[in-house]
Amino acid sequence: MKTGIIVAMDKEFAQLKALLTDAATEHSGHRDFVTGRLGEKEIILQKCGIGKVNAAVGTVEMISRYHPDLIVSSGCAGGADTSLEVTDVVVAAACAYHDAYCGDEVDYGQIIGMPARFKAPAELVSKALSLNTHPECKRLHIRSGLTVSGEWFVNSREKMRQILDRFPDATAVDMESCAIAQVCHIYRTPFVSFRVISDIPLKDSKASQYYEFWERIANGSFEVTKQFINLIHNS
């Protein structure tokens, strides 16, 4: 089984690349990819850049070049649910756009001709949640729910409330996962978003939690992604 992992930023990329062995960089289609292994598992890692277009282009390039059996959107996300804490993990049971509107004949956030929500395979969500009882993940708290994506770095309570007005069941918010999910839907490639919570906008001010996460907390926080990949491949 070959797994593709897509992240948006250099900082996320560095955290995950450090987990790989036999890492090698390849250039294809205006993109750099790192191939390597997690134990015996074959991994393709890419930093796509921030936002939906970058994410979509990177996903197309990865699928066209490497044909992965699964794509994982990893990195960090904001917590939409105030019961979350920084370093909790959200596995998206579904992804939706919080900033798309195609008229009243379809759901808010839905692109005409596409599902209103892009659902992850239930078995992958279940495997992610099983890490809550994994002996090496005792300090982790993993939740499933709706991840919403849009071209907005949510650093204010006002913006978070606006999103929740439309998506009251949102659990996490990011800028890439739904775009990756849409491409994977089109290309019929299994997909799941698995993201570490870096901040909770409704319990924060001007993204101070986010910056503290990267300054003091991030190191080691992506080990949970390694555990998730191992669990998928070993099952």
Amino acid of residue 126: S
- Prediction pTM value: 0.95
Q: What's the domain count of the chain?
A: 1
CA dihedral 194, 197, 203, 206 (to 10 degrees): -110
Helix (H) or strand (E) holding 102: none
Q: What is the pLDDT of residues 106-125, one digit of tens each?
A: 999 999 999 999 999 999 99
pLDDT for position 121: 97
Helix (H) or strand (E) holding 180: helix 177-187
d(C-alpha 151, C-alpha 13), whole Å: 20
Q: Which CATH number belongs to the domain containing residue 18 in this structure? A: 3.40.50.1580
Q: What is the pLDDT of residues 14-64, one digit of tens each?
A: 989 999 999 999 998 889 999 999 988 999 999 999 999 999 999 999 999
Q: Residue 55 in contact with residue 14, Cβ under 8 Å? A: no
3-state DSSP helix/strand/coil % of the chain, to nearest 5: 35, 30, 35
Q: Which residues are catalytic?
A: 12, 199
* Listed residue (172, 231, 230, 175) closest to 201, CA to CA: 172
In the numeric block, which tokens belong to residue 2? Answer: 């070959």
Q: What mean pLDDT, rounded, does the chain reach?
A: 94
The whole domain housing 100 covers 2-234
pLDDT for position 235: 59
d(C-alpha 213, C-alpha 82), whole Å: 17
Sign of CA dihedral 234, 71, 14, 134: negative
Q: What is the pLDDT of residues 186-207, one digit of tens each?
A: 999 999 999 999 999 999 988 8
Q: Which residue has the higher pLDDT, 31 or 102?
A: 102
What pLDDT band is residue 231 in, cutting at 50, 70 and 90? confident
Query: Do β-strands 142-149 and 170-174 pair in parallel, antiparallel, or remain unpaired?
Result: parallel
d(C-alpha 214, C-alpha 99), whole Å: 26
- 3-class secondary-structure state, position 40: coil
Provide the terminal-to-terminal Cα distance of the chain, rounded to the nearest Å: 11
